[in-house]
Amino acid sequence: MRVVVSGGSGFLGSHLCEELLRRGDSVVCLDNFSSGRKANVARLIRRPGFHCAPCDVTERFRVFGPVDAVVHLASPASPADYHHHPLETLAVGSRGTENMLRLAESRKARFVLASTSEVYGDPAVHPQAEDYWGHVNPIGPRSVYDEAKRFAEALSMAYRRSRGVDTGIVRIFNTYGPHMRPHDGRVISSFIRQALRGEPLTVFGDGTQTRSFCYVDDLVRGLLAMLDSIEPGPFNLGNPEERTVLELAELVTGITGSGSEVRHLPLPVDDPVRRRPDITRAREGLGWQPRVPLAEGLRRTVDWFASEAQAVVREPERAAVAGPS
């Protein structure tokens, strides 16, 4: 297939582009590099079948040639990014999603939207299944991301119902692995960076809040399964193994051999207390479930961060970093 990937230089996007090429597909990577990194796709530039087109998908753009599938990943996805770029986050969830849907419609291509577990907000139901409508603050500080993704889902379903576009939606839970930015505000990247530098690990709240962490290779397998299917979704993609933030801190210090202590800070507004996916639909509809245990995935991620030691030291940290997402 020839696949257009928006946000293709980002954390998830770069891994997806590489796996598409590995299996023999060709890729058009669209990115404005606002949160993606050119370094993530540098090794792909000279690969046959890969084309990187710098562009903003919220504006007019053109893709020449055939298109068999479109994967819309473009969006700031970490608290540090979407708090720093609130209007851009809303724009890529609305105008950007529609532009990608129009591309898919014009080429009769499969369209896959990368949505998020944030559509469930601070959930009142646990674990979260796809038929749960969520508990979201529509005007809170996280709403620029939560509501952008909820709107993108509604828009995708409207194009499916009214215009016959072959759309599919996946809701991605916390994912980690190589290519994460050291200062992106996510809990795993923050903990690993801090542990490698011998700094205190920043825990927001008392650390008993939970997340379910999925290694990036597993997540990409789920994206490919959705891309290759005709299922509309939505499907939760995530690891149903639930861990507290304090448990994660202990794992990271153990793997890195760090003597870092834990420093507690106030829990940000609307930060979810519990987060765990019910992946029954993904198991049954896509034949997908995660394989990589958390300890193994963390070891791989720590090794990558250690190999990127200069970036860990030099990359500037945003002034406003929110929450243990």
Active site residues: 145
Nearest to 238 by CA among 146, 58, 324, 115: 115
Q: How many CB atoms lie within 10 A of CB 202?
A: 16
